[in-house]
A and B are shown apart, each in its own frame.
Chain A
Amino acid sequence: MVNKKLLHIESSGQLCIYCGACVGVCPLNCIYLDETRITFDEKICTRCDICVKACPVGAIEIG
């Protein structure tokens, strides 16, 4: 299965626990957390991998 998205946060409830660790570590501030969702700005993301490592439950994949 080809994942065409640059960054995929498995936030549909299976893995992501909405802890915000990814938001806090992103060096480009391109991940956002509001009331109930984590979103990100594909235009800014450089696939640095930091959020992937920071996520305590491994919910992030970079495509």
Chain B
Amino acid sequence: MENLRTDVLVVGAGPAGSMTAKWAAKNGAKVLLLEKRQEIGSPVRCGEGISKSWLADVGITPSAKWINVEVEGARIYAPNEKCLEINEKHAGNEVGFVIERDGFDKALAIDAANAGADLLLKTAATGVIKENGRIVGIKAKRSGEAFEIRAPVTIGADGFESQIGRWAGIPTNLALRDMDSCLQYRMANVDCDVRYCDFYLGKVAPGGYVWIFPKADGLANVGIGVQLSQIKTHAEARKYLDDWIAKHPAYAKGKKIDIVGGGVSIAAPLKQTVTDGFMLVGDAARMIDPLTGGGIANGCIAGKICGEVAAQAVQLGTPTKEFFQAYERGWRGKIEEKLYRNWLAKEKLCSLSDETFNKVVDALQDVKLEKLTVHNILKAVREKYPEVTKEFAAFL
């Protein structure tokens, strides 16, 4: 395999990588998008629930090719299984579609290809190439053969287990409390309500939640996230999930047709996502929302900015850490505040007892929430259970 050259090298063809590749190509750069697997979009460990409001901003048109269900809202279940229904008007930002990542990821990669990006499958990065302290490309492997790819701009979009950021010198390691170990079964033959995404809170999923995301025709994603700092032995994600399913007949009757798992970062925003010749985007840059575990929207929003800045850097001949501050300012301007706020909320929620969760959900039952914000929720809780809100005083 001969060595290659390009302008913008994107490592990883998930949503963030494809979005970066598309917008870099649209802005005139020669782009090469790599994917270590032989297929894009599968298998993908993902609950497959996304909100809708951001899609148009990054140029994604909703399509029946990858939408399974358009949900009306969310149901939050307290540990005592009292349910809080939040319909779309209030939760619009957080629920929307349950999608098929297989089709979604492929559609985004096709968009990138149509914009002019080249793609290479079954090609993994094995290291970075540095010259005078600057990243000038990667060492790669394809079907067992080693070769090099050089580019003025290299972008790490290689997901949760990203190695390329660390090779480039950007610290992305996580504290135990900033990570959830997650497992999900796609199950057939379950009884669920296709109008809602369901979230079960409390000790059934310490430092995380059980989710049911319906996919129509008796199919649903049934998954769990458990905070690593609360795990004592091994395989606890599976134990907690299997336990929960066994206690819920609507799902105990389900048949597993798919198993995916992985780590999800629930971390505060990284201090740094760029260095000379290199930028990090998506899950690799720890952009997953610490409260919801959702990473697609943030990865795509940041990906568009990353692609645009990458193309500019190529054009101007300035692929430097300093120039890439435009990307830092861009993505932080859009999502950093929410990420940080949600991290604070997650830190609090991960320590709540089942009793407190029950009170919070109970307090919200009687209230017409104008808008589902942390602030409004806490206001409502304060009216009924003032002692609980003492714990959240910092937020009010």
Which A residues are closer than 8 A to B by beta carbons? Answer: 17, 19-21, 23-25, 27, 29, 32-35, 50, 52-58, 60
Contacts and interface: CB of A to CB of B under 8 A. Distances in A.
Contacts of A23: 161, 163
B261 A17 contact: yes
Contacts, number: 88
A17 to B, nearest CB: 5
Contacts of A34: 36, 124, 126, 141
B256 interface: no
A3 to B, nearest CB: 15
Contacts of B179: 24-25, 54
A58 B37 contact: no
A58 B238 contact: yes
Contacts of B141: 34-35
Contact of A57 (B124, B231, B238): B238
A50 B228 contact: yes
B173 interface: yes
Interface in B221-264: 228, 231-238, 259-263
A34 to B, nearest CB: 5
B238 A25 contact: no
Contacts of A60: 234
A62 to B, nearest CB: 10
Q: 3 shortest A-B CB distances, which residue pairs? A: A58-B235, A20-B161, A56-B237
Given A24-B174, A33-B161, A17 B260 contact: yes
Nearest to B162: A24
B181 A20 contact: no
Nearest to A15: B235
Contacts of B176: 25, 50
Interface of B: 36-38, 45, 122, 124, 126, 141, 159-163, 166, 173-174, 176, 179, 181-183, 228, 231-238, 259-263, 265
A20 B235 contact: no
A26 to B, nearest CB: 8
B122 A21 contact: no
B126 A20 contact: no
Contacts of A32: 163
A25 B263 contact: yes
A52 B259 CA distance: 19
B122 A20 contact: no
B234 A55 contact: yes
A17 B163 CA distance: 18
Contacts of A19: 45, 260-263
5 contacts: A25-B173, A32-B163, A34-B36, A34-B124, A56-B181
Contacts of A52: 234
A35 B35 CA distance: 9
A55 B124 contact: no
B261 A56 contact: yes
A35 B37 CA distance: 6
A15 B238 CA distance: 12
Nearest to B161: A20
A47 to B, nearest CB: 14
Contacts of A57: 183, 235, 237-238, 261
A53 B126 CA distance: 26
Contacts of A53: 181, 228, 231-234, 236
A48 to B, nearest CB: 11
A55 B231 CA distance: 10
Contacts of B228: 25, 50, 53-54
Nearest to B259: A17
Contacts of B236: 53
A32 B37 CA distance: 15
Nearest to B141: A34
A54 B141 CA distance: 27
Contacts of B181: 21, 53-56
